[in-house]
């Protein structure tokens, strides 16, 4: 197998800021990625206040940043109950469960990766950051 990298399945969801839940409008602010084969769970957030304020000038940016940072932290350190921390797959499931709050996960999508850190970087560039 020279020249071929082994690919591993992964799952991911975007984090969405939904400043007015009743309107359903959102801005992507982060990505959560989970790769079971590599025991990898990480999230990265990049909150752009001006994009969120375009949807709702009264949005609580500090609250949105705090919620996004909580998701990022929850990927790297145990939080909550023992049940929520019984494994990375359980934690990923808890983080990507549908909810009606100001920060919501998207549906879960899948892919293949040889390097989940590079894939996380790529997903953030494609799905979160404004186009160049």
**CA dihedral sign of residues 46, 49, 50, 51:** positive
Task: Domain of residue 88: give its range.
Answer: 9-102+120-127
Is residue 89, in this structure, part of any structural domain at all? yes
What is the value of pTM for the model shown?
0.88
Is residue 3, in this structure, part of any structural domain at all? no
Is residue 109, in this structure, part of any structural domain at all? no
Structural contact between residues 103 and 66, judged by C-beta atoms closer than 8 angstroms: no
Is residue 94, in this structure, part of any structural domain at all? yes
CA atoms of 64 and 7, how far apart (whole Å):
34
CA atoms of 62 and 59, how far apart (whole Å):
9
Is residue 76, in this structure, part of any structural domain at all? yes
Range among 42-51, 84-93, 97-106 with highest mean pLDDT value: 42-51
Is residue 1, in this structure, part of any structural domain at all? no
What's the pLDDT score for residue 95? 92
What's the pLDDT score for residue 69? 95
Is residue 66, in this structure, part of any structural domain at all? yes
Is residue 4, in this structure, part of any structural domain at all? no
CA distances from 6 to 3, 11, 117 (A): 10, 17, 15
pLDDT tens profile 37-85:
999 999 999 999 999 999 999 999 999 999 999 999 999 876 555 554 4
What's the number of domains the chain is made of? 1
Q: What share of the chain is helix, strand, coil (3-state, %, to 5)?
A: 35, 25, 40
């Amino acid at each position: 197998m020279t020249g071929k990298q082994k690919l591993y399945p992964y799952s991911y969801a975007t984090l969405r800021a939904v400043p007015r839940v009743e309107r359903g409008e959102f801005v992507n602010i982060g990505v959560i990625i989970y790769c079971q084969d590599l025991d990898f769970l990480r999230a990265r957030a990049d909150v752009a206040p001006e994009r969120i304020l375009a949807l709702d000038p009264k949005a609580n940016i500090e609250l949105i940043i705090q919620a996004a940072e909580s998701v990022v932290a929850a990927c790297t350190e145990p939080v909550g109950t023992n049940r929520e921390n019984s494994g990375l797959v359980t934690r990923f499931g808890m983080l990507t469960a549908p909810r009606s709050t100001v920060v919501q996960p998207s549906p879960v999508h899948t892919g293949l990766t040889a390097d989940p850190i590079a894939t996380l970087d790529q997903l953030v560039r494609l799905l979160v950051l404004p186009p160049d």
